Amino acid sequence: MALDIVIMAAGKGTRMKSDRPKVLHPVAGRSLLEHVLLTAVEVAADRIVVVTGHGAEQVEAAVRAPQLQFVRQAPQLGTGHAVQQAAPLLHSDGVTLILNGDTPLIEAATLRALVEACGGARLALLTVDLADPTGYGRIVRRTDASGASTVQAIVEHKDATPEQRAIAEVYTGAMAVPTAQLQRWLARLDNRNAQGEYYLTDVVAFAVADGVPVVAAQPRRASEVLGVNSPQQLAELERLCQRDRADALMSAGVRLADPARLDVRGQLQCGTDVAIDVNCVFEGTVTLGDRVQIGANCVIRNAVIGDDAVIHPFTHIDGDTLGVTVGRGSLVGPYARLRPGAVLGAAVHIGNFVEVKNSTLADGAKANHLAYLGDATVGARVNFGAGSITANYDGANKHRTEIGDDVQVGSNCVLVAPLTVGAGATIGAGSTVTRQAPAGQLTVVRGRQMSLPGWKRPVKSG
């Protein structure tokens, strides 16, 4: 039996007060719609149809997935009208699962259970009981003589009587329905209601009239079906999502100084005995090896941190598209910056106010204070002194600096690339080096020190 999924994402999201289409706002580093799509893909649908309207081009450009099709809804005349646009694309012999594009936390297991409750023969609604059901469609039930209660209709808040508004059970926006029936019911919708809209929820009354059983299923957790309509709700969902991630990490043995002060906006993989202090942000794909320690206030994106490495507080690591690798037992920070293409070997030390970009540092190399290494290859055990830099950019092109093993670069040196410093060389402090520095020798490029005996300071004239 074919399973099609329709995701409604045409609404404007007025209460977000944003130029960005609502479904493109991010939670945990992914747009609301991407969350729903990933879950839809997990449910293994034959076809996924996204209904776009407000900001359609932007929405369609932002999300791509296999088996995905878009249909446009313009103007937006209600949820029933939205699904009408998708109806011709659906497999009539199967089941259609209808979802809201602004409900990112819904889980695949919940959706599978909903499809199962439909079973190709029933209309299955995902419902929850809410302490404050204001604004939601209410589930109207009838209890027969035997005490069994059956769903009769969904009544939208604005159309509900005071007695109906007292009903706590609400429709979450997700339903699974036999497609052939859905297609027939959609054709019968009208907009004679308080909002002048074509309500998808009116299909429930049609099902009852046609003798199709209507069943209700509940999500594992009520928070799964929370939608985003405002910046406040977006922030609440972000915290919920982050708390889940923190719990998952702790269950896997990661020690978080405070689970409420962690943000994972992508994938974070951790080895054993990892410890993460407060206020750290992980973006993209980050891997932390065994016994890695991350200090407070670090931001780490697209990076692989090796076993036993220590990232001290206030370190910013951004691998962007090239990635960053920190070797086992390395010490980085505090206040260090590793940029794309930084590759540190084992036991490398990168200290405060040191920036490394597109450079490889071999095992045991050190740049402990106030330095810049850009487009450089740095040998093993090199000591790169405080205040020294590679001048890699001539105003038009970038050039490389090659520094051999066991080189000592004194403080406040400028290595003007392209340049090679031979193994075991020493560069005297304050040198501006523009030509090759031979292996094993001391190279000093600076004025020779003089002292003038009897020299007098000028005195103020007049």
Pairing of strands 310-311, 331-332: parallel
Task: Tell whether omega for the bond before 231 is within 30 degrees of 0, i.e. cis.
Answer: no
Instruction: Decide if 303 contacts 325 (C-beta within 8 A).
Output: yes
Closest CA to 195 of 255, 153, 155, 149: 155
Are the CB atoms for 182 and 60 separated by under 8 Å?
no
Least distance (Å) from ligand UD1 to the CB of residue 9?
Answer: 5
76 or 110: CB nearest ligand UD1: 76
Q: From residue 153, how far is each of 86, 171, 278, 346 by CA, in Å?
A: 23, 10, 49, 66
CB of 17 to ligand UD1, least distance (A): 16
Query: In b/e form, how buried is each residue of 197-224, taking b as 16+ CB within 10 angstroms?
Result: bbbbbbbbbbbbeeebebbbbbbeeebb
Assigned token pair, 218 = 């509940």
The residue ranges that bind ligand UD1 (CB under 6 A) are 8-11, 51, 53, 73, 76-79, 81-82, 100-102, 136-137, 154, 156, 170-173, 199-201, 227
Tell me: cis bond preceding 438? Omega within 30 of 0 counts. Answer: no
Select which of 91, 157, 316, 369 is catalytic.
369
CB of 124 or CB of 300, closer to ligand UD1:
124
Q: Give the shortest CB-106-to-ligand UD1 separation in angstroms.
A: 11
Q: How many residues does the chain have?
A: 462
* Nearest approach, Cβ of residue 230 and ligand UD1 (Å): 12
Question: Among residues 103 and 302, whose Cβ is nearest to ligand UD1?
Answer: 103
- Residue 340 phi/psi, 5-degree rounding, is -50, 135
φ, ψ for residue 9, nearest 5 deg: -145, 35
* Beta carbon nearer to ligand UD1, 76 or 426: 76
Question: Rounded to 5 degrees, what angle do the CA atoms 430, 431, 432 make?
Answer: 125
Question: Are the beta carbons of 216 and 151 closer than 8 angstroms?
Answer: yes
CB of 193 or CB of 368, closer to ligand UD1: 193
Position with the least CB separation from ligand UD1: 137
Cβ 201 to ligand UD1, closest distance in Å?
Answer: 5
Comparison of 29 and 104: residue with beta carbon closer to ligand UD1: 104
- Is 369 one of the catalytic residues? yes
Q: Which residues carry out catalysis?
A: 369
